[in-house]
Amino acid sequence: MTSSQQKSPVRLPKDALTKINLGNSFAEYDKVLTKPGVFVETPAIQAAQDATRAKCFFVGRRGTGKTAITYYLRTKFERTTISILPQIFSSFSGLFDIDDVRDPRKQPFKSLVSSFKRALQDEILLEWNKRKLLTFKDYSGTLGRERNNIENFDFDLRIMTFAEELFNCLNNNNQKEWVRLSKRSGELTKEMNELAQGPAWEFTILIDRIDESWDGSDEAGLLLMALMHACVELGASDACVRPLLFLRENIFERVREVDNEFSRLETCVVSMDWTEEQLLELIERRLNSPFSTKLPLRGPTWDYFFEGAEGVSSKKMVFDYCQRRPRDILIYCSFAIEAAQSRRREKILLEELQEARRRFSDSRLKDLADEYAENYPQLQYVLSRFYDLGREYTVNGVAAFINKLLEDPETRKVCGSWIYQHSTPEKFIGVMYNIGFFGVRFKEETLFRTLGPKSSTPPPITSASIIVIHPSYVDSLNLQDALVTSLDPLAPLKQSGLVNDLPDAIDLNEYQERLRKLLEKLKACPGGDQHAAEYEDIVGEVIRLCFFRALTNVEPRVRDLNGRVIRDWIASNRAITGFWEVVRQRYEATQVIWECKNYSELGPDVFHQCSYYMTKEIGRFVVLCYRGEEIKQHYYEHLRKVSREKEGGVVLLICDKDLQVFIRQALNGKIKEDHIQEIYDRIVRKIS
C-alpha cells in the first residue's frame, strides 16, 4: 500500500474497481459527462465562461476536449446557450468564384462575412421568441423584415439564402442593393442592443463539430475563414451575441495559411493544451464518480486504483506514453481497467498498463492517419512504412527513408498529391513534427508539437539533429530501439515483417532460415540427459532469435563466484516497453535466468534450484523450460512456495509448444509478447 493510501481516511468497497467506468472518450457519446463533478476547470473552460474576455476560437487537436466544453456550458448555462452544428462546409459549391473571395478586404468575402453574421443574429432572435422574451408580433423595422428567414430557414439555409442575394447583386453590378443588404447585420445589431434588458437576453452560441461536414475543399476553407471573421466582428459589436467556435487544429491551420488578415483572428484564440496535473484530475474525478464518498484528488485516488512499485510510477508510465490529450489518457486507462476487471483484480497492476499499450498504440496510429487525412491523403501508407525500423533517425536517416518512399510505386500512387511537395528532409520532418509523429531532440530534451494552435514549425534542424518517433506509436509499428543513419538500398520498406537490426547482423532471409531449422531441431530433439546440451542450445537460440529486442548479452552456463552454481542461460533485460519491462520493474530482474530441463517431469529439487537463482543483484524472475506438454497442478504448489520464500518471485514455466509459438511468431514477423504474457498471467493467478 502506498503512502497516499495510508494517509487517506476514505475506504471504498472491496469490489470498487468493478464499478469503474471512465466513460466514452468521444464527448458526444459520453454519459459520464452528465454526472456532477467530472469536469476539470482548465484555462479553456474558464475562458469559455468569461464573457468579458475576447476569446471566441477554441483550437486543439482531435480529442483535446472541445466538444466536452460545449456540453459543460450547455449544462451550466442551459437558459442562455445555443448549440449549432453547421453542415454548410460540404454543400456550398458553385455560388462564388474562389479567387474572388480570397481577399478579406473585397466585396465577395465581405458578402460571406455579412451572411454569417446575420444568420447568427437570427439564431438569437429565434431563441428570444422561444423563451417569450420577444414575440414575432412585436418585431418591427429591421427585425420585422427578418421574420420569414427566422421562421422558415435553419442556420445553413439562411447563410445560403443571404449569400445568394449578395452575390447576385455583385454579379448584376447592383451596388446599391448590395450595400443595403450588407448593412442589414449592422442594423440588426443596433436594434437588438436597444431591446436587450439584461443577462437573460444575452446568449452564447456554441459552433462545434465543423469536421463532420468538412470536405477539405478550398471553398470550405474560405467559408470557415468568413465564419471566423464574422464571430470576431459580431462578438465585438453585438452585446447579445457571443459566438464560440470550436475547431480542430489542422482545420484551423488551413485558415492560417490563406488569410492575409489573420492577425485579426489570432488574439481571439484559446489553445486546448492540458497539463499533466489536469489530466490526472480528469481521471481521478471519473474514478470517483460512482461513489458517494470521494477519495482525495491530486494523487491519492490514482494510487488507490493503480499499482505502483519501488522506483516505478504508474502515472509516469501512462503520461509519458501519451500525448497529453484527455482522449488518449481516457482510452489508455480504460483499456488497462478493462484488463484488470476481466481478471477480477482489486487494483490495476503494472501488467495491465503494459498490456494496454499495444492496444492503445494501434488505436492511436489509426486515429492519427484519420485526423490528418484531409491535409495529407492516405497518410497511413507513409506511417506504415516505418514498421520495424528504428525509433530515432539522423537527418541522413530521414533522407534515406524518403528516398525509399519515393521508390515505392504504391506510396507514389496514393500519396502523390502531397509527398513530392515534402520530399526534402526538412519539409518531411516539418510535416511529421506538425502532426505529432516526430519530435526533435534539443540538448537533453525531446520536443514534440503542442496540441493547440501554437507554431507548427519544428525546432531548428541541423545535420546533428536527432529525430524521434513519439512513444505512443512504438508498439503499433514494432519499432526497434535503434538510431537509423542509413537504410539498405536493396531492402524494400514493408508494412509488416522484420526489415533491419536483426540479431547477429544477419539479413532477413538468413534469419528466417535459422528459425526454420531451429523449429525442426526442437521437434526432433529427444528427451533425456544425453541430449541435454542439444536442448540447451535450442533454448539459447530461441532467446537470441525471438527475444533479441528485450534480452541481450546472452551467455551460456554461467558459474557464480565460488564455482558452485551453473545456470544454463543468463540474459540482460534491457527492455523499455512491454512484458519484459514489467518483469524488470516488478521483479528487479535486470538479468533473466533461463533454466533448461530436457525431461517432462519436474521434481521439487528443480524448483528449489530456481529459487536459489533469485538474488537481489539479479532479480526474482526465472524462466524454466522443460519438455512437458502441460503444467501439472502440483507444480503450482512449488511455484507458490518459491513466491512466498522469495518476496513474490516468479518462476515462468515454458513447454515445447510455447517455444514453438515463439519461433512461429518470429517467422511470421510478429514479434509479439501476447503468448508469454498469457503464460505469466495464468501462473500468477494460480499462485496468488
pLDDT at 493 over 60: yes
* pLDDT score for 565: 57
Give the containing element (helix H, strand E) for 242. strand 241-248
User: What single letter denotes the amino acid at residue 660?
Assistant: Q
Mean pLDDT of 456-478: 88
* pLDDT score for 507: 62
599 in Cβ contact with 567 (< 8 Å): no
Q: What is the pLDDT of residues 280-304, one digit of tens each?
A: 999 999 999 999 889 999 999 999 9
pLDDT at 590 over 90: yes
107-130 vs 218-237: helix crossing angle, rounded to 10: 60
Out of 3.10.129.10, 3.40.50.970, 1.10.3470.10, 3.40.91.30, the CATH code matching 508-687 is 3.40.91.30
* pLDDT score for 499: 37
* pLDDT score for 380: 85
The overall average pLDDT reported for the chain is 88
pLDDT at 668 over 70: no
Q: Would you place residue 581 in the very low, low, confident or very high pLDDT band (cuts 50, 70, 90)? A: confident
Give the containing element (helix H, strand E) for 482. strand 480-484
Mean pLDDT of 243-263: 90
Picking from 647, 657, 548, the residue whose alpha carbon sits closest to that of residue 592 is 548
Joined together, the cell numbers standing for residue 667 give 517467422
Least confident of 12-16, 87-91, 584-588: 87-91
Q: Which DSSP string corresponds to 354-420? A: HHHHHHHHHHHHHHHHHHTTTTSTTHHHHHHTTTTSEEEEEHHHHHHHHHHHHH-HHHHHHHTTTTG
Mean pLDDT of 63-91: 90
pLDDT at 90 over 80: no
Q: Would you place residue 91 in the very low, low, confident or very high pLDDT band (cuts 50, 70, 90)? A: low
* pLDDT score for 192: 93
Q: What is the pLDDT of residues 195-207, one digit of tens each?
A: 999 899 999 999 9
Q: How far is CA 507 from the centre of its chain?
A: 34
* pLDDT score for 497: 36
Q: Is residue 54 helix, strand or coil?
A: coil
Least confident of 17-31, 290-304, 673-687: 673-687
Using alpha carbons, list the distances in angstroms from residue 82 to 125, 157, 227, 238. Answer: 11, 17, 17, 16
* pLDDT score for 82: 95
* pLDDT score for 52: 78
Least confident of 342-346, 369-373, 508-512: 508-512
pLDDT at 571 over 60: yes
Q: Percent of the chain, pLDDT > 90?
A: 59
Model pTM? 0.74
Mean pLDDT of 390-413: 91
Beta-strand pair 81-84/390-394: unpaired
Q: What is the pLDDT of residues 633-667, one digit of tens each?
A: 899 999 999 999 999 999 999 999 899 988 887 77
Least confident of 104-113, 115-124, 564-573: 564-573
pLDDT at 142 over 70: yes
Rounded to an integer, what distance in angstroms lies between the CA atom of residue 450 and that of residue 367? 17
Give the containing element (helix H, strand E) for 58. strand 57-60
Beta-strand pair 57-60/241-248: parallel
Least confident of 2-16, 46-60, 77-91, 369-383: 2-16
* pLDDT score for 566: 61
Q: What is the pLDDT of residues 494-513, one digit of tens each?
A: 764 333 446 765 665 688 78
* pLDDT score for 582: 85
Domain extents for the chain? 43-271, 275-371, 379-499, 508-687
Mean pLDDT of 426-439: 94
Task: Classify residue 130 by burial, with Cβ atoms within 10 Å: 0-12, 13-18, 19+.
Answer: exposed
* pLDDT score for 2: 46
Rounded to an integer, what distance in angstroms lies between the CA atom of residue 313 and that of residue 317? 6
205 in Cβ contact with 124 (< 8 Å): yes
pLDDT at 559 over 60: no
Mean pLDDT of 169-174: 94
pLDDT at 93 over 80: no
Mean pLDDT of 486-501: 66
Task: Classify residue 372 by burial, with Cβ atoms within 10 Å: 0-12, 13-18, 19+.
Answer: buried
Rounded to an integer, what distance in angstroms lies between the CA atom of residue 232 and that of residue 570? 67
Q: Would you place residue 602 in the very low, low, confident or very high pLDDT band (cuts 50, 70, 90)? A: very high
The 8-class DSSP code of residue 453 comes to S
* pLDDT score for 560: 56
Joined together, the cell numbers standing for residue 484 give 537509423
